[in-house]
């Protein structure tokens, strides 16, 4: 029987997780744990390129762990760990960097995008695709789930791995990006893609009153209550359909097209769906937060599994370059 495919995902603890994270990354990652040998890491080294508050980094990393476990991540099926608990990755980063061309990094879109958003042009920000490559190659991942805007990172990883293999001999398997076309674009409060960097998010487990206020602030057009409306161009309906059943979606779309429906009513219906979906997850999260030893044990066990895979890879890479 063929061995299971290894699947690697990672997420930065750079802010509170939100609906965009949930539908764009968290839910798909949790579903993939049924399809292969899954590794999921909290990318705290990557977060350091923009977050320089030690206490906040620790808290956000812990919050990410709580959020994923509350949303259904099974530590028996997924090696769940902090990136910084696998030191083999940082040594591997150096071995990869010696054969990574400057031009390859200069072409990376994300570096240019982050500079445009005001981040300082540090070496870490410039070279973090090499660290990302080490994350992927250390565990010899076969599949890397990414959005279309992140596909370039997997392509860079493949390029670096091929150069290393060509120079020193076959050490790394080449990962494949897994792009899910059924993952919807989640609009933020202002209609742009929901993102912490835009400050337009609806948090998963924020205070209830504040989260409801976020929902009620989703931008709409200025059509009156009586006017016919187009659900396909409405940010509120785009969020509603993520949580609604097909029947609920069809009924709400028909009300849009019939006229007499106010956006406030749709926002209230969206909030009710959110509460129905996330209330049991919020309760689970509260129970996990009351048991910090369990969360710590999950991360430690995940790091042990990841380190075992990474150690094997690093030993092969060190031998290949002559460091053993």
What is the set of active-site residues?
114, 193, 196
What is the distance between the alpha carbons of residues 49 and 128, in angstroms, rounded to a whole number? 8
What is the distance between the alpha carbons of residues 79 and 70, in angstroms, rounded to a whole number? 16
Cβ(105)–Cβ(126) below 8 Å: yes
Supply φ then ψ for residue 119, to 5 degrees: -70, 145
Cβ(113)–Cβ(79) below 8 Å: no
What is the distance between the alpha carbons of residues 189 and 202, in angstroms, rounded to a whole number? 8
Q: 8 forms bridges with which residues in the sheet?
A: 39
What is the distance between the alpha carbons of residues 18 and 218, in angstroms, rounded to a whole number? 14
Burial 69-102 (b: 16+ CB within 10 A, else e): bbbebebeebbbbbbbbbebbebbbebbeebbee
What is the distance between the alpha carbons of residues 179 and 7, in angstroms, rounded to a whole number? 13
Helix pair 88-97, 292-321: axis angle to 10 deg? 30
* HSE, side-chain direction, 13 A CA sphere, residue 256: 22
| Residue 12 CA: distances (Å) to CA of 45, 50, 192, 231 | 8, 10, 20, 33
Q: 6 forms bridges with which residues in the sheet?
A: 37
| DSSP helix/strand/coil, 245 | coil
* HSE, side-chain direction, 13 A CA sphere, residue 85: 22
Q: Which residue is associated with the tokens 């812990």? A: 62
């Amino acid at each position: 029987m063929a061995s299971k495919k290894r699947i690697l995902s990672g997420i930065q603890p750079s802010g509170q997780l939100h609906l965009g994270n949930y539908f764009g990354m968290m839910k798909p990652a949790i579903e993939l744990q049924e399809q292969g040998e899954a590794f999921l890491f909290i990318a705290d080294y990557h977060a350091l390129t923009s977050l320089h508050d030690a206490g906040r980094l620790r808290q956000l990393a812990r919050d990410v762990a709580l959020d994923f476990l509350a949303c259904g991540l099974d530590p028996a099926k997924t090696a769940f760990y902090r990136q910084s608990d696998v030191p083999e990755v940082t040594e591997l980063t150096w071995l990869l960097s010696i054969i990574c061309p400057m031009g390859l990094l200069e072409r990376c879109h994300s570096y240019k995008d982050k500079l445009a958003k005001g981040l300082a042009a540090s070496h870490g920000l410039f070279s973090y695709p090499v660290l990302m490559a080490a994350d992927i190659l250390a565990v010899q991942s076969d599949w890397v789930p990414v959005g279309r805007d992140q596909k370039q990172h997997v392509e860079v990883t493949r390029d670096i791995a091929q150069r290393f293999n060509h120079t020193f001999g076959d050490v790394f398997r080449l990962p494949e990006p897994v792009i899910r076309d059924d993952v919807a674009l989640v609009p933020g409060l202002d209609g742009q893609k929901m993102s912490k960097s835009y400050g337009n998010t609806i948090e998963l487990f924020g205070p209830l009153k504040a989260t409801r206020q976020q929902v009620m602030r989703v931008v709409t057009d200025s059509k009156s209550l009586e006017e016919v409306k187009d659900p396909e161009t409405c940010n509120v309906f785009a969020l509603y359909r993520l949580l609604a059943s097909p029947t609920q979606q069809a009924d709400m779309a028909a009300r849009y097209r019939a006229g007499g429906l106010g956006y406030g009513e749709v926002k209230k219906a969206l909030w009710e769906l959110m509460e129905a979906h996330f209330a049991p997850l919020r309760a689970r999260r509260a129970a996990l937060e009351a048991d910090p030893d369990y969360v710590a044990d999950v991360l430690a066990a995940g790091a042990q599994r990841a380190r075992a895979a990474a150690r094997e890879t690093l030993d092969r890479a060190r031998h290949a370059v002559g460091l053993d």
